[in-house]
Amino acid sequence: MNMSRLLVPLVALLLLPSAVRAEGGCEEWISPALAEGPVTFGFLSADVATGRRACPRTEVGFGVQGGAIIETANLYGAVTGAGLLSGSLAVRPDLEVFATLEAVRVQYVQNATLTGTVISLGQLTVGGTWMALTRGPLVVSPSVRLQLPTSFASPRTRTLGGEVGAAVLYRPVNRFEVHGYAGVDTAMSLGAAAALPRAGFLVNVGTEYALCSGFAAVLDANLHFGHRAALDYLAPAIGLRFRAGEHFGAELGASMPVLGPERALAIGGLKLTYRM
């Protein structure tokens, strides 16, 4: 029997799932360089408890993110900023691995009697997303994310955590999408202090519309439960996304909690990406 006659259909069967998953909603976006999915500036470290996009991409990015806590009644204030390095690799058309690092984290804190500034390496997260289901414009992609104990913000304590979730995308035309994400995140402290294990649950729902191939706007709603209270925060988020040429993109984003005990007044940031 001619072995080549057996190898050809076998190779075709192995490649078929990826080829099928590469079609559908993920192939319909108006411009490859224009960012897609939820706004990724969140209230926790790096990209912890932020929505993931459903579609694999290969890109590298640099961003800055900041937030502030102002509690006049308690004579307390804190301003935090971070320089973010991020990247993702589409290993296959249906599989992405990604990482985000707080390369520099700066925090300035003041109370009634003391002030202090801490500059340190921040948290590193690594993870992966698998595009498990495509049905026309509908895409469902489960993901996992691990938060590694790299931060030196607290000199005697490190934070270890993880997250499991799924992203959903519905993109009926090439300039409009509805997206969502639901995930469970856990974290605990390592070191001299108590472990303080905690768990939370994030729900993200949003929409994105591209006015043209060079500009899109995003509006999200984020609900997080379980870290501090039954409802940690309800926070709307907005993003403005741009592209320059075939590969470069930029995003301005901000989010503000309107319900819950989250102490930050708001967070915001700028992210620049190069998509390959």
Mean pLDDT of 210-236: 95
Model confidence at 215, pLDDT cuts 50, 70, 90, reads: very high
Task: Name the percent of the chain lying above pLDDT 70.
Answer: 91
- Residue 85 CA to residue 273 CA, distance in Å, equals 10
Tally of CB atoms within 10 A around 153: 19
Return the pLDDT at 23.
54
Mean of the per-residue pLDDT values of the chain: 90
pLDDT classification of 7: cutoffs 50, 70, 90: very low
Mean pLDDT is lowest, of 142-156, 205-219, 257-271, for: 142-156
pLDDT category at 34 given cuts 50, 70, 90 is very high
Residue 4's pLDDT is: 44
pTM of the model: 0.87
193-202: per-residue pLDDT in tens?
A: 677 888 999 9
Mean pLDDT of 56-67: 97
User: pLDDT tens for residues 150-177?
Assistant: 998 877 788 999 999 999 999 999 999 9
Report the DSSP beta bridge partners of residue 215: 212, 242
Rounding to the nearest 10 degrees, give the CA dihedral for residues 170, 173, 174, 180. -20
